[in-house]
Amino acid sequence: MKPVAFAILAVFLAFVPPAPAQVPDTATFGRKNTFGVFVDYSNDSSHIVLGSAEGRKFTELGFQYERRLIATHNIVWKYTGEFRPLIAESDLTDTETTTQTLPPPPVTLVTEPIATPQCRPSSGSYSFINGNGILEAGSFTLSCGRRWTYVEGISPLGTRVNLLPRKRWQPTGSILTGLLLSAKKIPVETGGSFNFMFQVGAGIEYFRTSTQSMRLEYQLQHFSNAYTAPTNYGVDSGLFKFTYTFGR
């Protein structure tokens, strides 16, 4: 597990107080309307489901609303919606530096960083005879960098299931679908500023009281523009997500 996962787990456990010696069998944790604030982070992306853009980082701060739809002794089913006003998404970029030594004098050209699906540092040399019969020769270097982009998002369609609603510790799983709107085109220059997003994940929720809880989840997230832009490089990320909730 990566250091970020250990850090999130440590924060989660730090807020967990010792459980009471006895909890009545009739206790039900959670309320009909629940509000929450969450943070999540992914340090990388790869081809998990549909993604093809590598090395993306993703972090966000958001707010959540849930409403209980069905409750039994063994399961609670909820509607879930999320609003993400603060998202930072990081793309890999490549920069090419070309130094032409022949014919003299030497000339160096550096391109602007360009967001790319994958970046592999490389270098080499070239030589050729141009149309005027003059030898041109030099070297090139491709270097990798990173570009952060501000993004906003909303996930109005989602659902959550909690098991063992009479226990303080409850297994939970969720599915969310929504939209992302970015200040720049992501994840590549020919991508889009408008992307579709879905998440599916599972984790554990601990109820400090009958109305307050902390939730730690691992979610698989995918976003892409569904061919509404010239290219459609999707991004698959594994997110560690921490949520604090309170209800009424």
CA 35 to chain centre: 21
Per-residue pLDDT of the chain (248 residues; tens, 9 = 90+): 455 444 544 444 444 444 443 333 334 687 899 999 999 999 999 988 888 999 999 999 999 999 999 999 999 999 999 999 999 999 999 999 999 999 999 999 999 999 999 999 999 999 999 989 999 999 999 999 999 999 999 999 999 999 999 999 999 999 999 999 999 999 999 999 999 999 999 999 999 998 899 999 999 999 999 999 999 999 999 999 999 999 87
CA 16 to chain centre: 26
> What's the helix, strand, coil split of the chain in %, to 5?
5, 65, 30
Q: Which of 97, 114, 115 is nearest to 106 (CA)?
A: 97
Q: Which of 245, 205, 198, 194 is nearest to 219 (CA)?
A: 198
Structural contact between residues 102 and 136, judged by C-beta atoms closer than 8 angstroms: yes
Geometric angle at alpha carbon 98, from 96 and 103, rounded to 5°: 165
